[in-house]
Structure 1
Amino acid sequence: MTLDVLIYLYLQVHHDMSSPLAHYFLYTGHNSYLTGNQLSSESSTTPIINALKKGVRVIELDLWPNSREDDVEVRHGGTLTSSVKLRDCLNAIRDNAFEASEYPVVITFEDHITPPLQRKVAKMVDDIFGGMLFRPNHSRKMKKFPSPESLKRRILISTKPPESPENQSQKVQEEEVESNEDKDDGSKLNHKDESDDESEEEKSLAYRNLISIHAGKPKGNVEHWLLDHDQVRRLSLSEQVLEEIAKTRATDIVRFTQRNLLRVYPKGSRVDSSNYDPMNGWMHGAQMVAFNMQGHGHYLRYMEGMFKANGGCGYVKKPDILLNNNKIFDPRVNRPVQKTLQVLVYMGEGWHSEFGQTHFDFYSPPDFRVQVGIHGVPADIDTKVTRTIEDEWVPVWNEEINFALTCPELALLYIKVVERDFSGQHDFAGQTCLPVSELKEGIRAVRLCNRKGEPYKSVRLLIQFRVFNH
């Protein structure tokens, strides 16, 4: 088998990386320190390290006072999750940030700490990251974000700027009453007034100067949320809020994301660390579609498929249709077919050496079939299935499948192999998800992965890809 056959995606960074950050999708994690569920799992640096090594570029940390209120820890507040020291998390990020990619890492802080502890965090961040930390010029408003190219091997901090000292007291009282409003994921806020000889304003200033991406929660009505201010910013919406406002404000959201950053996060009821459909965020231009990386399921496979693009660097350039401010894209309006993707599934191999003789069936060789689907804008979603090849470890299907695509730039090709079981419960036999825009045409040996997204050593499908323009 030649090397060309084994290469079915572009392996190097090939997108233009000189545009503002708002022009890219960023590989984004949610509660990046949790090892399991959202209510009782351990907090650790391990999932942070694992995420960075697979190319994740946005790490989320929840900052809380420790029990003595003299230091900062990371935990999911209002739950039974354990805590991990903020210092340990920052050290883990510093040491692993650029193993998988040299493009910038953004740390989003969910901040539940007082001004004295904010000052402590500012010093900690400065000491640990030093020259790696990107500090914008705070003397003037940032009218557009810097580019990934200009921020190579830099760390950016994104959080809400501290409020003025006179508003701090009122804010604390409000947050104690409206404890869940800020994050919508079960976290509860609990601030305590602290004071020392240094003014609250000086403490807040050091922390404020860390922030390169200003964040905020929605206030007022939808029109106010999506106003395009002089200074670019990050807005966070839960998955269900995005879904609701997109019904009537789809083009407003897309327009907002042409300059500003939109982060989407899982709804609070996902206590099992499950995920949602990321395409709803992407097709509205959302750059930071935040996922629980410790989970499983097909939505996480879509996330991994998207970020196999552009050499797996964690930044994928948004298609031009999402950046055109003369004709704002509406993902729910049907467009003409742009391309046809032809997938010719020839054969599969590798299961016999990967699994035991009786893994699928005690009495006979397996009966394999292939599910091939497109996930993308609503008009492009489709799934097709090959016939079942019975009693064969090296099945040959030789079947052609065609998909008409109205928005190929956002389309993901999802392939799954199952072994037919007479009980009706089909056995999983491998999967992969690939960005259509990155596929290399021709005959390719496509490697399949297990349920966790880890590649099998031997299992591959021999497939021919062809793309026809309309």
Structure 2
Amino acid sequence: MGSCRLYTCFAGKSRMTEAGPLREVKEMFNKYAEGGTHMTAEQLRLFLVEVQGHVGTSMAEAQQIMEQVLQRRHHLSKFARRSLTLDDFQHYLFSTDLNPPILNQVLQDMRAPLSHYFIFTGHNSYLTGNQLSSDCSDVPIIKALKRGVRAIELDLWPNSTKDNVNVLHGRTLTPPVEVIKCLRSIKENAFSASPYPVIITLEDHLTPDLQAKVAQMITQTFGEMLFYPESECLKEFPSPEELKYRIIISTKPPKEYLETKST
């Protein structure tokens, strides 16, 4: 959230696929290479200015980037070919040293509805390792927030005595962590990397009394940081600018409850 940079748009897909370059990369390459098979330094410069937001990029800087990519991928000297193939272009986009992610720079207008933006999202944010047997902890959540992740997922399950709530990957061997510990760590670290809102997605497997208990924990933990919509049915979301330093809760009734209602 907060960046129009192409690298950031692909952050959630952070892998080179064996099937070849991503569709979005192909589209961008075709646009700036004007349908050709190679991208020139001038075409790369235009891409850097218009998409990446590097307004003052010179031809010399674009040529230098091109030379670095070609030297790294093909061991070509600066006197050899000076154009990028589609594969070279994708390599550049996903190179964290040649095209690092934006940290605190905001290049977009952040006053559009929240749904208009890419959001850096975590999945099973509490797991320290694999999804079957690794520990559940607040440590991966803290690390994610410090990296700028804006959406944290918590899977909520009753504890063994059914009187409290744990976070764990259900029906696996993952040792749990108490939900209150996760909530407190989110509060302490939510805005360490960005002032824009943090969304907590709750995968709910709780009974109504435990749902009420979690609701109380959330209210007491976050207080005025919580975002409350003005009505049950919003016509559109507020903007990231309006939601700075706010916590948004996203949840739905548990599948267990829905299955019971339908029988």
Task: Give the conservation status (yes or no) of the 8 Å contact 2:206–2:254.
Answer: no
139, 143, 149: which is aligned to 2:241?
149
Aligned to 2:259: 171
Q: Any idea what the Cα deviations from partners look like across 1:175-228, whole Å, max 9, x if unmatched?
A: 9xxxxxxxxxxxxxxxxxxxxxxxxxxxxxxxxxxxxxxxxxxxxxxxxxxxxx
In the alignment, the residues of structure 1 paired with residue 110 and residue 220 of structure 2 have an alpha-carbon distance, to the nearest angstrom, of: 29
Cα distance change, pair 7–39 in 1 and its aligned pair in 2 (3 A): closer
144, 151, 159: which is aligned to 1:66?
159
In the alignment, the residues of structure 1 paired with residue 259 and residue 209 of structure 2 have an alpha-carbon distance, to the nearest angstrom, of: 16
24, 30, 52: which is aligned to 2:123?
30
Cα distance change, pair 70–154 in 1 and its aligned pair in 2 (3 A): same
Cα distance change, pair 8–173 in 1 and its aligned pair in 2 (3 A): closer
1:128 equivalenced with 2:215 (yes/no): no
In the alignment, the residues of structure 2 paired with residue 95 and residue 52 of structure 1 have an alpha-carbon distance, to the nearest angstrom, of: 10
Q: What secondary structure, in the 3-state scheme, does the structure 2 residue paired with 1:27 have?
A: coil
Report deviation, 1:141.
Answer: 1.7
Aligned residue identity for 1:156? I
Report deviation, 1:7.
Answer: 10
Cα distance change, pair 141–124 in 1 and its aligned pair in 2 (3 A): same
86, 99, 118: which is aligned to 2:211?
118
Larger radius of gyration: 1
TM-score (norm 1): 0.33
Report deviation, 1:146.
Answer: 0.9
Cα distance change, pair 162–75 in 1 and its aligned pair in 2 (3 A): closer
Report deviation, 1:13.
Answer: 1.0
Task: Give the conservation status (yes or no) of the 8 Å contact 2:127–2:140.
Answer: yes
42, 46, 65: which is aligned to 2:139?
46
In the alignment, the residues of structure 2 paired with residue 111 and residue 29 of structure 1 have an alpha-carbon distance, to the nearest angstrom, of: 17
Q: What secondary structure, in the 3-state scheme, does the structure 2 residue paired with 1:118 have?
A: helix
Aligned residue identity for 2:181? D
In the alignment, the residues of structure 2 paired with residue 7 and residue 36 of structure 1 have an alpha-carbon distance, to the nearest angstrom, of: 29
Aligned to 1:102: 195
Report deviation, 1:98.
Answer: 0.3
Aligned residue identity for 1:64? W
TM-score (norm 2): 0.59
Two-structure CA RMSD over aligned residues (Å): 2.6
Aligned to 2:173: 80
In the alignment, the residues of structure 2 paired with residue 46 and residue 127 of structure 1 have an alpha-carbon distance, to the nearest angstrom, of: 22
> By percentage of residues, which structure has more strand?
1
Aligned residue identity for 1:124? M
In the alignment, the residues of structure 2 paired with residue 172 and residue 36 of structure 1 have an alpha-carbon distance, to the nearest angstrom, of: 33
Aligned residue identity for 2:171? G
In the alignment, the residues of structure 1 paired with residue 238 and residue 158 of structure 2 have an alpha-carbon distance, to the nearest angstrom, of: 32
Report deviation, 1:21.
Answer: 1.0
242, 250, 254: which is aligned to 1:158?
250
Q: What secondary structure, in the 3-state scheme, does the structure 2 residue paired with 1:87 have?
A: helix
Cα distance change, pair 151–80 in 1 and its aligned pair in 2 (3 A): same
Show the 5 A alignment for 1:401-420.
none
In the alignment, the residues of structure 2 paired with residue 8 and residue 37 of structure 1 have an alpha-carbon distance, to the nearest angstrom, of: 29
In the alignment, the residues of structure 2 paired with residue 108 and residue 120 of structure 1 have an alpha-carbon distance, to the nearest angstrom, of: 17
In the alignment, the residues of structure 1 paired with residue 205 and residue 219 of structure 2 have an alpha-carbon distance, to the nearest angstrom, of: 20
Show the 5 A alignment for 1:176-215.
none
Q: Any idea what the Cα deviations from partners look like across 1:41-65, whole Å, max 9, x if unmatched?
A: 0000000000000000000000000
Q: What secondary structure, in the 3-state scheme, does the structure 1 residue paired with 2:235 have?
A: coil
Q: What secondary structure, in the 3-state scheme, does the structure 2 residue paired with 1:55 have?
A: coil
Cα distance change, pair 69–159 in 1 and its aligned pair in 2 (3 A): same
In the alignment, the residues of structure 2 paired with residue 67 and residue 7 of structure 1 have an alpha-carbon distance, to the nearest angstrom, of: 50
Report deviation, 1:172.
Answer: 3.5
> By percentage of residues, which structure has more helix?
2
Q: What secondary structure, in the 3-state scheme, does the structure 2 residue paired with 1:134 have?
A: coil
Cα distance change, pair 30–162 in 1 and its aligned pair in 2 (3 A): closer
In the alignment, the residues of structure 2 paired with residue 97 and residue 162 of structure 1 have an alpha-carbon distance, to the nearest angstrom, of: 26
Report deviation, 1:173.
Answer: 7.6
In the alignment, the residues of structure 2 paired with residue 95 and residue 85 of structure 1 have an alpha-carbon distance, to the nearest angstrom, of: 16
Q: What secondary structure, in the 3-state scheme, does the structure 2 residue paired with 1:100 have?
A: coil
Task: Give the conservation status (yes or no) of the 8 Å contact 2:205–2:254.
Answer: no
Aligned to 2:112: 19
Report deviation, 1:161.
Answer: 4.8
Report deviation, 1:8.
Answer: 6.8
Report deviation, 1:171.
Answer: 2.9
In the alignment, the residues of structure 2 paired with residue 85 and residue 8 of structure 1 have an alpha-carbon distance, to the nearest angstrom, of: 38
Task: Give the conservation status (yes or no) of the 8 Å contact 2:204–2:254.
Answer: no
Q: Any idea what the Cα deviations from partners look like across 1:350-375, whole Å, max 9, x if unmatched?
A: xxxxxxxxxxxxxxxxxxxxxxxxxx
Cα distance change, pair 8–64 in 1 and its aligned pair in 2 (3 A): closer
**Structure 2: runs of 5 or more not aligned:** 1-56, 62-96
Aligned residue identity for 1:128? T
Q: What secondary structure, in the 3-state scheme, does the structure 2 residue paired with 1:171 have?
A: helix
In the alignment, the residues of structure 1 paired with residue 214 and residue 111 of structure 2 have an alpha-carbon distance, to the nearest angstrom, of: 31
**Structure 1: runs of 5 or more not aligned:** 176-470
Aligned residue identity for 2:209? P
Cα distance change, pair 66–172 in 1 and its aligned pair in 2 (3 A): farther
